[in-house]
Structure 1
């Protein structure tokens, strides 16, 4: 119980520190929304006092500490403010894109985890044999190739040379989840290849270490079937050390598939982030960055709780 409360407190402190860091990082961005919305000629024609009044109306002249306190207060109430120019609530802008990115990441994980488990276990059980060599080589290749290259190759094959799937996603931002997934098979496969490669290598390493432990050898000497040793004893021992890395990778999928979303015009957070940076909409960039950071902290916390539940040594420590 004390360990769980300690991790809750540590997660809250981490999130507060990340919030302050995100605010500082976005504040040092060059220019602002007014500079982007007006051309250089228009800014040159506007009198300085009029330009100062426009910045005041948009709140761009407020001191940084005051804006930081306002930002922290908005985060506590899940109110990220409004865009500077159009006055649209930020939550309305990032709501559906956040859902869409979570849908894409969730679909990839639902497919990647069982496939990676199968490949990692098979490669570890038959270590040094043909299946291990094939799996290890394929994992290295799949993880080394950038996702935009994989996406481009898939588009050239399955959308140009053999037009089976559309090159870009035609679904709308607010379409249902199944409609969105049905329109984005190439995007799912692009992220899936790298995910399977990473998770399979991670699980293979853990399984190889677990199968080399003394307790596994003792279990074999007692006559327990090999499949029971692999799935009931070695697999849990291999997964526990990898939970944190797997949780961080799952969180990184949401914030790290920007390139894939741009390649396939997927209506997720990636496009909104690029659009927000281009327009210097600080509130949008801050909200997206904070959502990504909160997801990383939350999944890392869940991984810590799972380790506490599965590993008695951690609880005693």
Structure 2
């Protein structure tokens, strides 16, 4: 029962966080300087035309009623109409998010798995050659900006050895099959950028856990090093790393602006740049809320995984309440 309560509490907090994030995003976008209607019509538009467009867009209503209508529409998947194209925001946003998934999912699956493995190896073999090599590589990758890493990969694999396309030429209208050759380089950049942080975090956590009494006791019982790491050290070492993994996964799924812009990749990051440049407020609001929802859901998944790995988290609150009583 305590597990159900803990899960329910975290789900409610996640939903409340998304709602609050949507409110802050909506108010921030509405507070931007300038008149959207005049920008769309141009500086030569008459006051009557500006007033008519403001009424059409609902900008003459108070902000709270506009937010309520927008929130109800967002719950139904209707984020409004783009001020630039005049088309519904939802399909374009879904296409961009799907394109971002094409580079984010391989980066997550490969990057997280390899990073956790290398972090454990570096932590177990602390101070040895393997630890030094892994730690130095991770530090170098952490210090190199994503755009520099992307530029080097383009130079090597698209110019010196022209085996992969440097940029996406067709843009948002490209199908997933057409995008596949262009997915490799952005996915590699994201994998390297993300894995470095996870490796460092997993190494530190493994070193800390390997020095604890229950691990030493397992070693004294005659278990092999692999059994000690897999059965005893790894579950405890993963707990503090889950938040780092969740943040990096959300960073990927939310759309990486720099990487997608370098490769002209039609994902969430590229769409956000274009929307900000065109002052497409409905699209900006939708992208921001979806990105916030991704962050919240990734952190919720990290909490659920932590509950599964450490049952003490499910009973800690109940124990505290008994003590206070």
Instruction: Give your verdict on TM over 0.5.
Output: yes
Q: Which deviates more from structure 2 when the two are superposed, residues 281-290 or residues 184-193?
A: 184-193
C-alpha distance in structure 2 between counterparts of 1:159 and 1:182, whole Å: 11
CA contact (8 A) 1:124 1:204 kept: yes
- Of 15, 25, 31, the match for 1:22: 25
- 1:157 CA drift (Å): 2.2
- 1:224 CA drift (Å): 0.6
- 1:33 CA drift (Å): 4.1
User: For residue 16 of structure 2, what is the aligned residue in structure 1?
Assistant: 13
1:262 to 2:265 alignment: no
CA contact (8 A) 1:124 1:208 kept: yes
Report the number of matched residues: 313
User: For residue 116 of structure 1, what is the aligned residue in structure 2?
Assistant: 115
CA contact (8 A) 1:31 1:280 kept: no
User: For residue 242 of structure 1, what is the aligned residue in structure 2?
Assistant: 241
- 1:88 CA drift (Å): 0.5
C-alpha distance in structure 2 between counterparts of 1:24 and 1:54, whole Å: 21
Q: Residues 137-176 of structure 1: matches in 2 within 5 Å?
A: 137-170=136-169, 173=172, 175=174
- 1:147 CA drift (Å): 0.3
Q: Residues 154-303 of structure 1: matches in 2 within 5 Å?
A: 154-170=153-169, 173=172, 175=174, 177=176, 179-303=178-302
Tell me the TM-score normalised to structure 1 length: 0.93
CA contact (8 A) 2:206 2:234 kept: yes
C-alpha distance in structure 1 between counterparts of 2:207 and 2:99, whole Å: 37
- 1:171 CA drift (Å): 5.7
1:157-187, Cα deviation, whole Å (9 max, x unpaired): 2222332222112465455545423322211
User: For residue 31 of structure 1, what is the aligned residue in structure 2?
Assistant: 34
1:218-246, Cα deviation, whole Å (9 max, x unpaired): 11111011111112211111112221221
CA contact (8 A) 2:29 2:281 kept: yes
4+ runs deviating over 6 angstroms: none
Question: Measured at CA, do residues 179 and 217 of structure 1 come closer, stay the same or move farther in structure 2, by a change above 3 Å?
Answer: farther
1:36-85, Cα deviation, whole Å (9 max, x unpaired): 4344xxx23x3322322222223232221221111111122121111135
CA contact (8 A) 2:154 2:185 kept: yes
SS of 1:224's equivalent in the other structure is: coil
C-alpha distance in structure 1 between counterparts of 2:79 and 2:35, whole Å: 17
C-alpha distance in structure 2 between counterparts of 1:129 and 1:159, whole Å: 37
Root mean square deviation, CA, Å: 1.8
Tell me the TM-score normalised to structure 2 length: 0.91
Task: Structure 2: state its 5+ residue gaps.
Answer: 317-325
CA contact (8 A) 1:90 1:283 kept: yes
Q: Which deviates more from structure 2 when the two are superposed, residues 92-101 or residues 167-176?
A: 167-176
User: For residue 4 of structure 1, what is the aligned residue in structure 2?
Assistant: 7
C-alpha distance in structure 2 between counterparts of 1:178 and 1:196, whole Å: 27
C-alpha distance in structure 2 between counterparts of 1:132 and 1:20, whole Å: 46
Q: Which deviates more from structure 2 when the two are superposed, residues 133-142 or residues 239-248?
A: 239-248
SS of 1:183's equivalent in the other structure is: helix
Task: Structure 1: state its 5+ residue gaps.
Answer: none
